[in-house]
Amino acid sequence: MYSPDSIFRRNRHRYEPTADMAAGLSCVICGTDLRDPRRSDAVVSAHHEGRQLLACRGRCAHLASGSSTGLDEPPLPLAERLRRHRSGA
Ligand SMILES: [Zn+2]
């Protein structure tokens, strides 16, 4: 039997990416900010509501997608990810 409190706690553990993660602007695993042009090693690791979710190549990508190189799909350019994030699309 679940109390409302335990349901709340269970929901908190449900996978829910932040706005930055959903926009492909931060790693879905470690939260590294991918707006930094030097962070060009991010790979597509999953999809969420039609958007690409990105993770750092290597350990993060492996945790997110099961492959250290992510999905076989190129990420959108950073400028395009930023534009969509700003426009709320
Ligand atoms: Zn990461």
Residue-level pLDDT, tens digit, the chain, 89 residues: 555 555 454 445 556 788 999 999 999 999 999 998 777 689 999 998 889 999 999 999 999 999 999 999 999 999 999 999 998 75
* Structural domain includes residue 7: no
Domains identified in the chain, total number:
1
Provide the CA 82 distance to its chain's centre, in angstroms: 14
CA-to-CA separations, 15 to 22, 24, 41, 71, 87, in angstroms, rounded: 12, 16, 23, 19, 24
> How many angstroms does the Cα of residue 84 sit away from the middle of ligand 1?
21
> How many angstroms does the Cα of residue 10 sit away from the middle of ligand 1?
24
* Structural domain includes residue 5: no
> How many angstroms does the Cα of residue 47 sit away from the middle of ligand 1?
16
* Structural domain includes residue 8: no
Residue 53 domain boundaries: 18-87
* Structural domain includes residue 50: yes
* Structural domain includes residue 71: yes
